Structure 1
Amino acid sequence: MAMENKIGVIVDSYQVGVREGLKKAKAAGADGVQIYAVKGEFSPQALNAAARKEYRDYIESLGLEISAIVGDLGGHGFQDASANRQKIDESKRIMELAMDMGTNIVTTHIGIVPDDKNSAIYEAMHKACDELSTFASEMDAYFAIETGPETSAHLKSFLDTLSSKGVSVNFDPANMVMVTGDDPVQGVHNLKDYIVHTHAKDGIQLRPVDPREVYGFLGFEKGMDHDVIAQMAESGAAFREVPLGEGSVDWKAYLQALQDIGYKGYLTIEREVGTNPEADIQLAVDFLKKLKG
């Protein structure tokens, strides 16, 4: 299967800091990288204009590019109207950082989209996403929602109500098979107008699970915490994240679906569990390169 997609790696998956992670991603054979920009050494407040240019030059000197920035602020996403002003403003600063670093994509979670379109939570999420969508569109950029918390059909119905495609999709096939049990191939076709970035991850579902138990929901459970989700994916009773090719994602059919809709963006490897992420990431790079042909 000859595909044009480039292969990326989330440098934070290496758990060795950004600069060391960049070197490892290059050594693994990646074309690009995705970097967390929520807190720490790569956050908007930590990098002034000179530091941004220095980082960008360093990444380019390695022969890499940034596929996207992770701007996931955790909690309940944008479900809590009282917290949204700060989160929206923080998201905008992350988007500005992304543009300075040479990418126009920030990936994020917005919280589970409620079924009830008349609920206060739906209204809060819609209002926040509409503002972010307009902000992104004016910069020719995207806030890309990660798939998983709800079915692709339900996510599409929400995105269709926004005033622009500035809020789009970061497609993660593993989240779908692990949590909602949704079919990634059908999901690609459902969301074909919105996919701007993808995560290359695999997983299996061990038993049906309420997405609220995984991602949290305002008034139901505490908010989303990446460490908790990673722990669930490693040792929980509901699902497992596994190395690429060992889970329920039908990679040939999934990549064919991406090709069918004309997606030419990144396949960015994310590894949130395991004791040897470097080896798992190398296996994933090799797996994707072999599949791409």
Structure 2
Amino acid sequence: MLLKRLSVRLEAFQLPLTKALSKAGSLGLGGVEFDAAGELSPEELSQTGRRHLRHAIRSQELNFTGIGFLSRHGFEEIDRLERRVSQAVKVLALAAELGAPVVVGQLGTIPTDDDSPAALAFHDAVTRLAREAERLGTRYAASIGPNQPSELADLFAKTGGFGLAVAYDPALLLVRGEDAYGGVRTLHDHLASIRLKDAVRSGIAVSGYREVPLGEGEVDWESFLGALEEVNYQGSLTLAPDQQGGGPDAVAASAAFVQRLI
């Protein structure tokens, strides 16, 4: 059932961890994703804490669908690059231990000058990350970010292997004026997480767009889900609103919207 593939970022509930897990379970969702930050960071989450977290997830009949890796900068930034790569590897190891299939994080802007120091450092970093993810049996699912699907596809072809993938955000592509549905076909071999968000273009917002509830934005969800079916996507679909767009009622409404589509 598609509903059992529906997941949610726990942070979207804007509730303490235990209450957020309970809410996710009560909505009948299949899984949860959380950010590896604060008490849930690899450094803070002890072995006892990890056992308790696994038990709490199982008690709600949920699965881990992903872990978020938060970083202010991408891998094109040379400053403190090794520190970012090291931290990303720690989150990949945490994901492998907890049974989460993907780590969702940014890559940054893919450098276009292949011979520049930044480009060489970037490609070395992401190749190492891809190999480590593959060794651990996980995937690093890169957010679309500023890159086009074709640019990501080219990068994945260069790095090779299974470890590097994409967390696909159709809303972001559409508000940038790109083909979010065709992008599914371009990246079909590399889709590891689908981010369920909706948005509209806005000249008022600094970003050029603003997030809105599912079904009220520019994404044609029937067409998008049809594109996923066309490429036989079998991964999770994750409700991933921005912090300001969440809350229990908003998550419940988004889950109900998706359920009406299936």
Using the size of structure 2 for normalisation, the TM-score is: 0.93
User: Out of 63, 67, 70, which is 1:69 matched to?
Assistant: 67
Cα distance in 2 between the residues matched to 1:23 and 1:197: 23
- Match for residue 128 of structure 1? 125
1:3 positional shift: 4.8
Cα distance in 2 between the residues matched to 1:286 and 1:4: 10
CA contact (8 A) 1:132 1:143 kept: yes
Please show how residues 168-207 of structure 1 align to structure 2 within 5 Å. 168-178=165-175, 180-206=176-202
Distance 1:28 1:236, change over 3 A: farther
2:129 alignment partner AA: L
1:272 positional shift: 1.1
Please show how residues 102-117 of structure 1 align to structure 2 within 5 Å. 102-117=99-114
1:205 alignment partner AA: R
Distance 1:60 1:187, change over 3 A: same
Cα distance in 2 between the residues matched to 1:126 and 1:72: 20
CA contact (8 A) 1:66 1:103 kept: yes
Paired residues in the alignment total 262
Cα distance in 2 between the residues matched to 1:104 and 1:67: 6
User: Out of 225, 228, 231, which is 1:261 matched to?
Assistant: 231
1:4 positional shift: 7.5
Query: What secondary structure does 2:189 align onto?
Result: coil
Cα deviations by residue, 1:56-91 (Å, 9 ceiling, x for unpaired) = 0111011111110001322x2111223111111111
Residues 1:15 and 2:11 are matched in the alignment: no
1:288 positional shift: 0.8
CA contact (8 A) 1:168 1:196 kept: yes
CA contact (8 A) 2:141 2:164 kept: yes
- Match for residue 39 of structure 2? 41
Using the size of structure 1 for normalisation, the TM-score is: 0.84
Percentage of matched positions with identical amino acids: 28
Cα deviations by residue, 1:144-201 (Å, 9 ceiling, x for unpaired) = 00113111111111121103221111111122123x3221111100001100111111
2:202 alignment partner AA: L
Structure 2 residues without counterparts, runs of 5 or longer:
none
Cα deviations by residue, 1:102-144 (Å, 9 ceiling, x for unpaired) = 2121000011113333333322221110000000111221000
